[in-house]
Amino acid sequence: MKLLLTKIVATLGPASAAPEVIGQLIDVGVRVFRLNFSHGTFDDHSQLLATVRSVASDTGVPVAVLGDLSGPKIRVGEVVKEGVMLEQGSQVEFVKGTVVTGSPGTTSPGRVAFSTSYPAIVEEVQEGEPILLDDGKVRLTCVGRRGRGEDARLLCEVTHEGPITSRKGVNLPQTTLSLPSLTEKDHACARFAVENDLDYVALSFVRSAADVIALRSLLGELAQAKQGAEAAPRGLESLPIISKIEKPQAVADIDAIVEASDGIMVARGDLGVEMDLAEVPVVQKQIIEHCHAHGKPVIVATQMLETMIEAPTPTRAEVSDIANAILDGSDAVMLSGETSVGKWPLRAAETMSRVAQQTNDYLKQKPLVFGSPHEARGAWRQFAMIAEGAWLMASGLDAKLVVLWGELERAAYLSRRKASRPILLFAEDERQLRRSALLFGVTAVQLETPASSEAFLVAADQLIQERGWANRGDTVLVLIPTSLSATGAGNTLLVHRLGDPVGEAA
């Protein structure tokens, strides 16, 4: 098992569904697998999940599974098979009813009528606001509306022409929508995530912290229902939420959203449609900085190796994009279509892994110093301060590894500093091990609860040397709670030379 710093998230799909492919992806460094609920059925997702869990068990590598909710994505309705061409300057109408665009009665010279998955668009888009179709490839401007009630129509003019086929996405970057943050489908997907013990849930199209709070309430209710027969370990009562930042409204409320979330995804696909593309690189850096300030993990996603969906090699710009996301301090970088439907899923993951390795090697020589994490509260304040001190000691002593026993929260506090040294988390609970797979620098190892701190140190020393993670005589820093079986217990910080008898740590 490799000791990774930056983690790789890979989206599952037809190109990566086979057990042997999933095993190869784990081998090259994928530690989080994404189920995209926008595609496929629950039976499809169940089969993928079972395959991941089985392969991960065989390899002995804890990997996390992230369920990505579809969110309130607006789409145009049905269009005739050949599609329709929207000409520059032509008129487009959006109607409340259901129509098949391009069929008789929906088109006339210079005019085309569409239905959408969100009929209220007819009332909520205001004159002068843009409407973007198919990821912004086709652009319209609202020029008014006519009619009332169910006969109301939104009138638009085409400003950037292009073809449109069925179910293309609709983006409304300047419109305030009453659309709920969680759709009926999202409720069903959240239930699937809880019932099948996924490790993270991603919330799409977040607009405010209230959207995150609403999902957390739903997940809590679902977890309580499930726990009638199964008690969750401390800290695992509800699935962690990764908020996807892909709307300008979310950027405006970023501090509150980061505070309310367990992690953030910089989802540059829709973000790049709804904002000026020139703003996105700076916004990406700002979001990552907010995550550092609050001590939350952050994933950078979308089009990182888009060329490799079709081509066996990436562009130089794509390679630089991955490296710059890592240099900014992201915990993970993500592959989407590259591994779900691409021709080269394994080669794409290998490429991303090699770029991450080279960039992390550079950071080991010229480490970046990120700001201290947001002040810890309550029982964890003591450990947060110990974690800060541990990194100072690890740097001064050139420790090869930081080793700890215990809860996921302990590993998270150590991970937040993004120091370029591996962190080994030993724990017994499988869910804690899997969820740690997203955290920068953390490698999880399952171990039955030792009889004592001394027994843990002996076991860790032996395993580190057996797996070649460090050599006899190397210095490691060890964090051990005063009680291995109690949660939130106090901590002992040891400097240990591998191979030294326990009790004689220097």
Distance separating alpha carbons of residues 469 and 473, to the nearest angstrom: 12
- Assess contact for 257 and 337: CB atoms under 8 A: no
- Token pair in block for residue 456: 């843990």
Nearest to 322 by CA among 303, 338, 298, 341: 303
259: which DSSP letter? H
Distance separating alpha carbons of residues 86 and 145, to the nearest angstrom: 19
Nearest to 21 by CA among 61, 57, 60, 48: 48
Distance separating alpha carbons of residues 45 and 192, to the nearest angstrom: 9
Give the distance from CA 302 to its chain's centroid: 11
Phi, psi of 275 (to 5 degrees): -120, 165
- The helix/strand/coil state of 51 is helix
Show Cβ contacts of residue 21 under 8 Å, excluding neighbours closer than 6 positions: 15, 345, 346
The separation between the first and the last C-alpha atoms of the chain, rounded to the nearest angstrom, is 28
- Token pair in block for residue 371: 């700001």
Beta strands in 326-365 (DSSP E): 332-335
Nearest to 157 by CA among 116, 123, 125: 125
Show Cβ contacts of residue 158 under 8 Å, excluding neighbours closer than 6 positions: 86, 87, 88, 89, 90, 91, 92, 138, 139, 140
Count other C-beta atoms under 10 Å from residue 324's C-beta.
15
Place of tokens 């990552």: 288
- Assess contact for 329 and 288: CB atoms under 8 A: yes
Distance separating alpha carbons of residues 86 and 92, to the nearest angstrom: 8
Query: Which residues participate in catalysis according to the annotation?
Result: 34, 75, 244, 302
476: which DSSP letter? E
- Assess contact for 448 and 474: CB atoms under 8 A: no
Amino acid at 458: V
Beta strands in 422-490 (DSSP E): 423-427, 442-446, 475-481
- Assess contact for 67 and 194: CB atoms under 8 A: no
- Token pair in block for residue 473: 């005589």
